[in-house]
Chain A
């Protein structure tokens, strides 16, 4: 028998804010759902190590999907007639549509970077329908990443976006993994990373929403890498300070992409965060 990985990928067509979207979803494992959100301009391949880890998939049904326009998800009809711009509300609509289409009951939602941002808003708005959130590189407010060159006719967007994000990895993470993430970034469609950063750096501000999160109803675990200069540890510390009962850990020697840049280094922090949200029976 061929030695397949335990990850299975499928496609589903769903309505999101009045548009039909063909979405790529992959999953592995059994148990309560753990829904994973990739970073800006990337796709669900970032979670391949997590989805191959029996310590996670033995406890959770791990699901990751490509956002519309990203990875193997198809842009909606007439995409060529509008500029791709992710917003806080459109991002929530996408996640909610996938969540409901898959009938996920009390999922834990784990997101990184822009995914680590939006999970804060999910926790504020849907706390009675969530087991918890795991925020990787989570900030409530993250200006400074948007620029016109990310989608510009005189610049190779794939190479710029990939190089622009490469230094967000820790210099201590294995080069082969950092380079893999570079490749995924280089594969995103024209303007997609910029459209995501529009959300992350221009539209996003959840500083007031944090006050509504009740960790007695929705558990909150936050993990940020020491070398993350987009969402610095200080930015996540500010989030943690605003959410009583949240659990924050600094990941020493880690960067902005823990699940792909250094999974062995990330793994103890991840398992600890998952234990915080879903304590294992003794």
Chain B
């Protein structure tokens, strides 16, 4: 398709590591019982749908088509995700709520009510992304 090397961002091995961390997370075990939704993560031109069941990632669908129903999602250019995921995130890029307020090209898409109903577990899910570290794609 000619998207170049970044088209696979964040890469299959990173997604596998992330999923493993989420599904082994003690805190999400404690708070995730009612965290049941599908959300999308869009890294530049690349999208994934994360199917969340009881606080676990049950499935990751790459390039979801129109028959994958997602309640909400986060979308940003790869450069923004790289700052968020860096070991020393710059101010304003260290937390998804910070980016929603101060980074214009980090966007919450879809039904924000569902996102905020799950704010606590969702925040943990996003912070585990940071703990997963930099993508290797």
Is there an interface contact between B113 and A155, defined as CB atoms closer than 8 Å?
yes
**Alpha-carbon separation in the docked complex, A227 to B112 (Å):** 25
Query: Which residue of the partner chain, among B94, B120, B130, contacts A163 with CB atoms under 8 Å?
Result: B120
> Which residues does chain A contribute within 8 Å of B97, judged by CB atoms?
163-164, 166-167
- How far does the Cβ of A183 sit from chain B's closest Cβ, in whole Å? 12
Is there an interface contact between B94 and A167, defined as CB atoms closer than 8 Å?
yes
Is there an interface contact between B113 and A166, defined as CB atoms closer than 8 Å?
no
A171 touching B117 in the complex, CB below 8 Å, given contacts A144-B101, A166-B123, A229-B101: no
> Which residues does chain A contribute within 8 Å of B130, judged by CB atoms?
171
- How far does the Cβ of B127 sit from chain A's closest Cβ, in whole Å? 9
> Which residues does chain B contribute within 8 Å of A163, judged by CB atoms?
97, 119-120, 123
Residue B116 is within 8 A (CB to CB) of chain A in the complex: yes
Query: Which residue of the partner chain, among B98, B113, B117, contacts A167 with CB atoms under 8 Å?
Result: B98
Q: Decide if the interface of chain A is mainly helix, strand, loop or mixed.
A: loop
Is there an interface contact between A159 and B119, defined as CB atoms closer than 8 Å?
yes
Is there an interface contact between A229 and B92, defined as CB atoms closer than 8 Å?
yes
> Which residues does chain B contribute within 8 Å of A229, judged by CB atoms?
91-92, 95, 98, 101-102
Number of A-B contacts (CB under 8 A): 58
- Please give the number of chain A residues whose Cβ is less than 8 angstroms from any Cβ of chain B in the complex: 23
Residue A27 is within 8 A (CB to CB) of chain B in the complex: no
**Alpha-carbon separation in the docked complex, A145 to B98 (Å):** 11
Is there an interface contact between A171 and B123, defined as CB atoms closer than 8 Å?
no
Is there an interface contact between B116 and A155, defined as CB atoms closer than 8 Å?
yes
**Alpha-carbon separation in the docked complex, A231 to B45 (Å):** 33
Is there an interface contact between B113 and A162, defined as CB atoms closer than 8 Å?
no
**Alpha-carbon separation in the docked complex, A154 to B112 (Å):** 12
| B89, B95, B102: most-surrounded residue (chain A CB, <10 A) | B95
Is there an interface contact between A227 and B116, defined as CB atoms closer than 8 Å?
no
Residues of chain B in range 118-137 having any CB-CB distance to chain A below 8 Å: 119-120, 123, 130
Residue A137 is within 8 A (CB to CB) of chain B in the complex: no
**Alpha-carbon separation in the docked complex, A160 to B94 (Å):** 18
Residue B96 is within 8 A (CB to CB) of chain A in the complex: yes
**Alpha-carbon separation in the docked complex, A13 to B132 (Å):** 51
Residue A226 is within 8 A (CB to CB) of chain B in the complex: yes
Closest 5 A/B residue pairs (Cβ):
A167-B95, A229-B98, A159-B120, A163-B119, A163-B123
| Other A-B pairs beyond A154-B113, A155-B119, 14, CB < 8 Å | A155-B113, A155-B117, A156-B117, A159-B119, A159-B120, A163-B120, A164-B119, A166-B97, A167-B95, A168-B95, A171-B89, A227-B94, A228-B91, A229-B101
Contact sample, A vs B, 20 pairs, CB 8 Å cutoff: A149-B113, A152-B116, A155-B116, A155-B117, A156-B117, A163-B123, A164-B97, A166-B95, A167-B95, A167-B96, A167-B98, A167-B123, A168-B98, A171-B89, A171-B94, A171-B95, A227-B94, A230-B101, A232-B91, A232-B102
